[in-house]
Amino acid sequence: MKALTKKFLLASLLACVVAECVAETRPNIVVILADDMGYADAGFNGATDIRTPNLDRLAESGVVFTSGYCNHPFCGPSRAALLAGRYQHRFGFEHNPHYDPGNPHLGIDPNEKLFPARLQEVGYTTGGVGKWHLGAAAPFNPLNRGFNYFYGFLGGGHDYFRIDLSAPLDTAYLTGLVRNNKPAGFEGYLTTALSRDAVEFIERHCGEPFFLYVAYNAPHSPLQAPAETIAKYGHIVDEKRRVYAAMVDEMDRGVGMVIDSLERTHVRDNTLVFFLSDNGGPQPMSWNPNYGNSSSNAPLRGGKTNLYDGGIRVPFVASWPVGLPAGKKFDQPVIALDIARTAVELAGGDADSEPALEGVNLAPFLRGESLGKPHDLLYWRDLGGARWAILTGEGTKCVVDDPRRAPEVYHLPNDIGETTDRSSEVGHEVARLRACWRTWDAANTGNRIVPAHDYQRLQADFFQSTATASEADWHSERESNSRH
């Protein structure tokens, strides 16, 4: 009996040791997302007029994806895919939702399981800081979608210096912030306030596995930055870019605060940090020459809202000191939805429970353990399929950015700026890629998000018609009463 007891105790002890080792090898995970940042506006991607020492430090400690893509050329759908780990078209999220806390239908499908919820299932504490943009009503609230903690704003943007609860709701840029569903504010500059909160989350949870989503709204409009930071960029002649540069600078400083906190709490080595932008930088257009935030996507073509690479190829880095090589460039195409599967599989979670995550675990490819390409094909869709693109693992891209034009074909390794359309030379390839895209698209569903500007118009029309009907009913009732 004593021998059996000793064997049982020894087995239990070994099991505890193994469990502890497994837990220790699982990384903390931090995803830092910029908003409307240009491809060329980080030092690790060639910027010389904007200083990004902390992003460059992060890049030097990890892997730079030179062909790193987001899932959509503008905000909301791109973020939906990132957090779901699936193409957003699978659940009908193809437009930016308007901010409406009273509409329980205007947001990400409540049946869609976001990847932070999968991390919760294996013991991770999950936090979100910053911009949400996936719906403002209760069914879409971060605390109901896999986050233990959230501080930020639920709409698509915010003023960087102030809150004004007396202002018209409009796009909600002056609304109050929330912290775990309670009203909250901020002091000073919003980007810094978000960074401070991210640091506090790390300090609270550094003794346990954690996931942190730091979703900056910088450098999205409005173009606002502290005067002293703008003054650092006096060498930039264009005033608009000078302010934009200061906004990127402040965000970079916030990234430094986050990285420093990981180092200070002794968890940096075993923390996997991703940095990327939600889409390319917005550029002036022929019909709106003042559009854009003065970002640079050079040498890419186009910008935000385009399916050319300027709209979807973004600054993209992964750093994990004990788990990934440092100072490496990875040239094969990867996409934002890969982050979810990478994180969940490294955490020991279930990436294949329905609905299964669609990305790939990038870690084996970055370590050289898996040879070949992470993806044979990547896909994009907008306007219900009127605009679309498909990219092969070798870098051949077929794109319809303008529904009035025929598909164009570019070989990006030799033509990163998409300057020479080769469709007339490779008609068979156009047909093949279009067929592949249609096969992929067959699994998609219709868009369920009314575009924000259309929603505002419908909302205004509804209230006007309601007011008119109410007034007519009042006059009718008054006339009826007068007869009696």
Annotated catalytic sites, by residue? 75, 133
Q: How far apart, in whole angstroms, are the C-alpha atoms of residue 104 and residue 117?
A: 20
Cβ contact 119:472 at 8 Å: no
Cβ contact 229:291 at 8 Å: no
Q: How far apart, in whole angstroms, are the C-alpha atoms of residue 162 and residue 158?
A: 9
Which residues, other chains included, contact 98 with Cβ-Cβ below 8 Å and sequence gap of 6+? 106, 171, 450, 452, 455, 456, 459
In this structure, what token pair is assigned to residue 159? 């003023």
| Three-state DSSP state, 129 | strand
Cβ contact 110:78 at 8 Å: no
Q: Are strands 316-319 and 63-65 parallel, antiparallel or unpaired?
A: antiparallel
- Give the residue from 106, 73, 74 showing the smallest Cα distance to 92: 106
Q: Are strands 387-392 and 396-400 parallel, antiparallel or unpaired?
A: antiparallel
Q: How far apart, in whole angstroms, are the C-alpha atoms of residue 153 and residue 36?
A: 17
Farthest CA pair distance, the chain: 101
**Percent composition of the chain: helix, strand, coil (DSSP 3-state, to 5):** 35, 15, 50
Q: How far apart, in whole angstroms, are the C-alpha atoms of residue 298 and residue 308?
A: 12
| Three-state DSSP state, 398 | strand
Render 251-273 in DSSP notation, one character per residue. HHHHHHHHHHHHHHTT-STTEEE
- Give the residue from 106, 109, 104 showing the smallest Cα distance to 91: 109
Alpha helices in 221-330 (DSSP H): 227-231, 239-264, 309-312
In this structure, what token pair is assigned to residue 175? 């609304």
Q: How far apart, in whole angstroms, are the C-alpha atoms of residue 12 and residue 219?
A: 53
In this structure, what token pair is assigned to residue 374? 């992470």
In this structure, what token pair is assigned to residue 23? 């837990």
- Give the residue from 247, 244, 148 showing the smallest Cα distance to 192: 247
Q: How far apart, in whole angstroms, are the C-alpha atoms of residue 245 and residue 249?
A: 6
Q: How far apart, in whole angstroms, are the C-alpha atoms of residue 289 and residue 287?
A: 6
| Three-state DSSP state, 482 | helix
